[in-house]
Structure 1
């Protein structure tokens, strides 16, 4: 990598290539992605590769191509054709499913970015576990299995409860807690049925120890091999035995940001995974025996956690992300000190959305934003068919996490869903 920062002024035709920032499953991507795209556009001219022609993204990009962004060969070939017409100075990829394709294209063009091996190590939980264990970083005991019988034997060895999960999916897809042997067959069917567009799931699945304690996430950046945490997300999870994320809160100055042992562990983990430049989203369980890394994702967090971080601290994660991949030293000076949280609203039963109504927040109630994320006619299913069946969300601020969560609870009264129940065939059986 060059020792000089890439400058948007060196060539007026130069572009930063953005890969995969569009919609998924009939959900509006704008509330989730616009803050990242608008930040990147402050630094560079942008060219977009996405699965569909741009809509709202058009105001931020100078050009776009619609292609299969999950296919490394298709993305690499399109990137090469683009590079023949104008300089490509880097690649920004915030979508989990397109990270591998983006890494192949970055390697082919010789531009900064995470290597194919590093992206693979982050995306494959089996590889992540092995590398971190080898580096002496606390990990749950685990193994991989290919059948319900193997899973039963593994769980007997690890001791119940255990967690069963695919090796390389995100958003808690196919992740399920198994509390006893009578639940294993159904759980195995659910895990093996989980899928994500463009991602080939290996046929061996992870069985690992269930970790006690709350889960947090840390969004951070790596520049020249040095890891810097930006924000800590305190996660709310429901829907056991599934792990459905229902909300997050971010507080500027969270004490975990000053936990030297935790930060040292995160640095060691990023070094072990070979991450030298990039932004990451690390999930950590605060167990009774200390912090344990659940996974390291080679991109910023989903669920608008980085956006909450921006509102709480003033640090712009979009700017940090494009700076580190174009060899600019990022600015972590935020200037804000708030607690901000998000609450997602999902249906109580599988349904077809007919109408979503958002009431006006009252002055002083701390609600910063209410947004719909699906349109009428969309069908929403709970787990195990879908783990992110949401129709709206609220963002609120408070003096601390307790007040913020109370305000988010109250914001639920501002959101109304009219829907028609629908039946859902079970996937893989009932655990």
Structure 2
């Protein structure tokens, strides 16, 4: 009797890490299948000849029915997803895993974590270091919350991802403008409008990657100019003293305990303030963009491969294989317009230590900034055993790449 292939189900895709998941699944002997509203938007599926099926991924019943159909052809080994249609996909994935008896996180914990207000309440109740915060449903409540906390404040949707709708409001005018944007029909809400108003915690930004109950990587990031928070550069590992690393690790593990996230991956963001590490956000998933690549380059740890192994019930290996500095510099336009040219990529790639130079869009396409992660149109990645050398390599490569935007 012929053994059936093991399918690995991916809900939606990702222009940053979708390809890496497909490739890692194949390397583990799995048959990756992507379920998406529009599979054609993920060009790597065609390049990898990876199976894809058009499904309404916002409907749990539609996803469950498709998985049941696939189970007639395959043994379903594991299920995961991406945030292309919002953080709620992870709660859906958790429910599907539970329905089909597959390894996965607790759906209730994922749902609580996806609501940033609920997350704040749980962490604050546990005594974790979080900014002062208030929940608001209308402009009057936003104004009252900002007055109680004190300007400047961070104003953002209570449910969302990728810094979408997040803004630093430094005065009453900016506060009114952003509130109008969020509540006036301009912002694409994925749930009923709820606004989180938070204290602006100033200080260096750190990002922690966990797997199970272990901290596996700690990086740092710089951002473009306010009032938005668009990443400019990401570096692994972060420059921390032993004491600072221990404090961040302890708070990270505290987050996992009190949010019920001791299974699988999580991504915890901090600002180091006058009172030490303050929790910006906990995401019940692996971080996106270049972080998995940087972790592999810096630590020799393929966190995507190890995540898949956990999802299919295999034992994972989270040991560090080496220690290097890995840096990603992001390409972000400074105005809205049309990308007219990209030159020098081959010269930059040829620089020793450069790992990748990638643009997500082609010349002739428009760039319309929204103040979130989608403003990023490309990246350069470099790595070296020496941090100073890595910084010099990334700067040299960036200087060799010539691109331009023609303003509208």
Q: Same fold (TM over 0.5)?
A: yes
Determine which of 173, 176, 188 is the counterpart of 1:182: 173
Q: Per the alignment, do residues 56 and 143 of structure 1 end up closer, same or farther by CA in structure 2, a change over 3 Å counting?
A: same
Question: Are 2:368 and 1:368 equivalent residues in the alignment?
Answer: no
Q: Aligned partners of 1:362, 1:156: CA distance in 2, in Å?
A: 50
| 2:146 equivalent in structure 1 | 155
| 2:11 equivalent in structure 1 | 19
The Cα shift of 1:58 comes to 5.2
Q: RMSD value over aligned CA atoms?
A: 2.6
CA contact (8 A) 1:392 1:415 kept: no
| 2:59 equivalent in structure 1 | 71
| 2:325 equivalent in structure 1 | 339
Q: For structure 1, which runs of at least 5 residues remain unmatched after alignment? A: 1-9, 23-28, 423-431
Q: Per the alignment, do residues 209 and 362 of structure 1 end up closer, same or farther by CA in structure 2, a change over 3 Å counting?
A: closer
Q: For structure 2, which runs of at least 5 residues remain unmatched after alignment? A: none
TM-score by length of 1: 0.84
Q: Per the alignment, do residues 364 and 200 of structure 1 end up closer, same or farther by CA in structure 2, a change over 3 Å counting?
A: closer
The Cα shift of 1:291 comes to 1.0
Determine which of 178, 185, 200 is the counterpart of 1:210: 200
| 1:121 equivalent in structure 2 | 112
Deviations 1:388-422 (A, max 9, x none): 22332111124544443343233222222244321
Deviations 1:227-254 (A, max 9, x none): 1112112111112011111120112896
Deviations 1:183-229 (A, max 9, x none): 21112123446756xx623312000111021111111101xxxx111
Q: Aligned partners of 2:78, 2:243: CA distance in 1, in Å?
A: 29
Q: Aligned partners of 1:305, 1:233: CA distance in 2, in Å?
A: 9
Q: How does 1:20-419 map to 2 (within 5 A)?
A: 20-22=12-14, 29=15, 32-43=17-28, 44-50=30-36, 51-53=38-40, 55-57=43-45, 63-95=51-83, 97=86, 98-192=89-183, 195=187, 200-222=190-212, 227-251=213-237, 255=241, 259-357=245-343, 358-361=345-348, 366-384=353-371, 387-419=373-405
CA contact (8 A) 2:97 2:104 kept: yes
User: What SS does structure 2 have at the residue aligned with 1:361?
Assistant: helix
User: What SS does structure 2 have at the residue aligned with 1:85?
Assistant: coil
CA contact (8 A) 1:251 1:339 kept: yes
CA contact (8 A) 1:167 1:202 kept: no
Q: Aligned partners of 1:11, 1:266: CA distance in 2, in Å?
A: 42
User: What SS does structure 2 have at the residue aligned with 1:312?
Assistant: helix
Q: Aligned partners of 1:106, 1:335: CA distance in 2, in Å?
A: 31
Q: Which moved more, 1:367-376 or 1:236-245?
A: 367-376
CA contact (8 A) 2:351 2:393 kept: no
User: What SS does structure 1 have at the residue aligned with 2:113?
Assistant: helix
Q: Per the alignment, do residues 56 and 285 of structure 1 end up closer, same or farther by CA in structure 2, a change over 3 Å counting?
A: same
Q: Per the alignment, do residues 183 and 62 of structure 1 end up closer, same or farther by CA in structure 2, a change over 3 Å counting?
A: closer
Q: Aligned partners of 2:75, 2:210: CA distance in 1, in Å?
A: 28
Q: Aligned partners of 2:373, 2:358: CA distance in 1, in Å?
A: 19
Q: Aligned partners of 1:251, 1:66: CA distance in 2, in Å?
A: 39
CA contact (8 A) 2:340 2:364 kept: yes
| 1:429 equivalent in structure 2 | none
Deviations 1:243-292 (A, max 9, x none): 11112011289656983332222122112222232111111111110112
Q: Per the alignment, do residues 157 and 252 of structure 1 end up closer, same or farther by CA in structure 2, a change over 3 Å counting?
A: closer
Deviations 1:324-357 (A, max 9, x none): 2233331012322110101111222101123322
Q: Aligned partners of 2:386, 2:69: CA distance in 1, in Å?
A: 51
Q: Which moved more, 1:386-395 or 1:142-151?
A: 386-395
Q: Per the alignment, do residues 37 and 307 of structure 1 end up closer, same or farther by CA in structure 2, a change over 3 Å counting?
A: same
CA contact (8 A) 1:93 1:299 kept: no
User: What SS does structure 2 have at the residue aligned with 1:80?
Assistant: helix
TM-score by length of 2: 0.89
CA contact (8 A) 2:35 2:53 kept: yes
The Cα shift of 1:105 comes to 2.2
CA contact (8 A) 1:354 1:418 kept: yes
